[in-house]
Amino acid sequence: MYTANKQRYETMEYKRVGKSGLKLPYVSLGLWHNFGSLFPHANSREMILGAFDLGITHFDLANNYGPVPGSAEETFGRVLAQDLRKYRDEIIISTKSGYYMWEGPYGEWGSRKQMIASLDQSLLRMGLDYVDIFYSHRPDLETPLEETVSALVQAVRSGKALYVGLSNYDAKRTKEAIDLLKAEGIHCLIHQPRYNIYDRRPEEGLYQVLEEEGVGAIPFSPLEQGLLTNRYLNGIPADSRAAGGSIFLKSEQITEDKLSQIRKLNDIAVQRGQTLAQMALSWLHKSPVTASVIIGASRLSQIEDCAKAHQAAPFTQEELDKIDQIVKG
C-alpha cells in the first residue's frame, strides 16, 4: 500500500503557466519511452511514485506512447488505480492526439472525429473521467485549423479536459489557434515544443508569441534524449536509449565532435555545482515563458537528479555565452 512522502512539497519549485491559474512543477515526467507494456511494470511504477514523492505533480502522456501504442497510458492507469487514486486532485495528467494510433482515415491527424475518439480511448485506458490537459499533438495542414480547435473546445465543454494545449505548432499557426480558442472563450494554456541547448527553434518566434499571449511553454526532450547528461560521457552504455535500437536516438548521432562538446558543457555544469542534466534543465528555465520541462527517464535515480535542477544560482552572461560558443562548435 503506497503512502506518499509527507515532505513532497517542501523541495520542488512550482511555476505559474503563462497567465493562468495553474502552476506546474519545475520538472515534469513524460512517459514516451520506458513505460509501455514491453518494459517491467515494477520499474515504471517505481519511477511514477518516486517522481510524485519528489513533488513532481505533472505526468505527460499521449495516445500512442508505448510500445505497444496505448500501453503507457494503461501503465499509468494501473498505477493510478493501485496507488495514486486518493491523490488524483494533486496530479496534472496530460494526453495528446494527432500521431498515428489506429488503422483507417480517422486514426491520426487533427479531424474532430480523430481527436474526440482518441480522447475517449485515452480516458478509458487511464481509467479517468477527465484529463487535466488535452493537446493537439501536431498540426494537420489538410484539416481546417477551426476543426481541430473545435475538438479542443468540445473537450473542455464536455468536461473531458480542464485545459488545452498545442504541440509542435510553429509560431504562426500557434497564434492562429490561440486566437480561435480565444474567440470561443477558451485560453490556450500551454505549448509543448522541442527545445533544448542544442535545438533552438522555439527562439525563432514561438516563444515571443507565447509570451505576448500569456501562454506557458513546457519543452520536451530537454536533455536531447540523454545527450545533455552524463550518460554518454564514457561511451554508449548497453542499457541506454542510443544502444537500444531507438529510431529517435541512433548511436551514430553520438560522434566524437558531439562528445567533445558535451564534455565541455559538463565542465561548465560542474563549475556551477550542477550535473549536466540539471544545467540543461535550468538553461530552459532562464526564460519566464518556460513553466516546466518534460524529462524522460529509464530509472528513478535520473528523476532524483533532475528534480534538484532548480537549486542552482541563475546563469551569468559569461556562462550563457560559453554554452553558445560550445554548441556552435
Q: How far is the CB of 110 from ligand NDP (least distance, A)?
A: 14
Report how far residue 292's alpha carbon sits from residue 285's, in angstroms, rounded to the nearest whole number.
8
Report how far residue 265's alpha carbon sits from residue 114's, in angstroms, rounded to the nearest whole number.
43
Listed residue (28, 116, 118, 112) closest to 64, CA to CA = 118
Q: What's 295's DSSP letter?
A: E
Q: How far is the CB of 1 from ligand NDP (least distance, A)?
A: 28
**Pairing relationship of beta strands 92-97 and 58-60 according to DSSP bridges:** parallel
Listed residue (54, 53, 71) closest to 62, CA to CA = 71
Between 111 and 278, CB nearer to ligand NDP: 278
Binding residues for ligand NDP (CB under 6 A): 30-33, 60, 137, 167-168, 192, 220-226, 229-231, 240-241, 277, 294-298, 302, 305-306
User: Three-state DSSP class for 289?
Assistant: coil
Between 184 and 221, CB nearer to ligand NDP: 221
Q: Can you tell me which residue has the cell 486532485?
A: 89
Contact between 165 and 191 under an 8 Å Cβ cutoff? The reply is yes
Run of H or E residues at 302: helix 300-306
Q: How far is the CB of 9 from ligand NDP (least distance, A)?
A: 22
Q: Report how far apart, in Å, the C-alpha atoms of 65 and of each of 69, 101, 155 are.
A: 5, 9, 20
Between 87 and 198, CB nearer to ligand NDP: 198
Q: How far is the CB of 33 from ligand NDP (least distance, A)?
A: 5
Between 157 and 170, CB nearer to ligand NDP: 170
Q: How far is the CB of 65 from ligand NDP (least distance, A)?
A: 7
Report how far residue 231's alpha carbon sits from residue 75's, in angstroms, rounded to the nearest whole number.
26
Q: How far is the CB of 21 from ligand NDP (least distance, A)?
A: 23
Q: How far is the CB of 190 from ligand NDP (least distance, A)?
A: 11
Q: Say which residues have a Cβ less than 8 Å from residue 192's Cβ, sequence separation at least 6.
A: 60, 96, 135, 165, 166, 167, 168, 217, 218, 219, 220, 294
Listed residue (261, 257, 251, 250) closest to 196, CA to CA = 261
Between 140 and 224, CB nearer to ligand NDP: 224
Chain-centre distance of CA 184, in angstroms?
Answer: 26
Between 261 and 298, CB nearer to ligand NDP: 298
Cis check: omega of the bond before 293, within 30 degrees of 0: no
Between 189 and 318, CB nearer to ligand NDP: 189
Q: How far is the CB of 3 from ligand NDP (least distance, A)?
A: 26
Between 137 and 173, CB nearer to ligand NDP: 137
Between 1 and 38, CB nearer to ligand NDP: 38
Q: How far is the CB of 137 from ligand NDP (least distance, A)?
A: 6
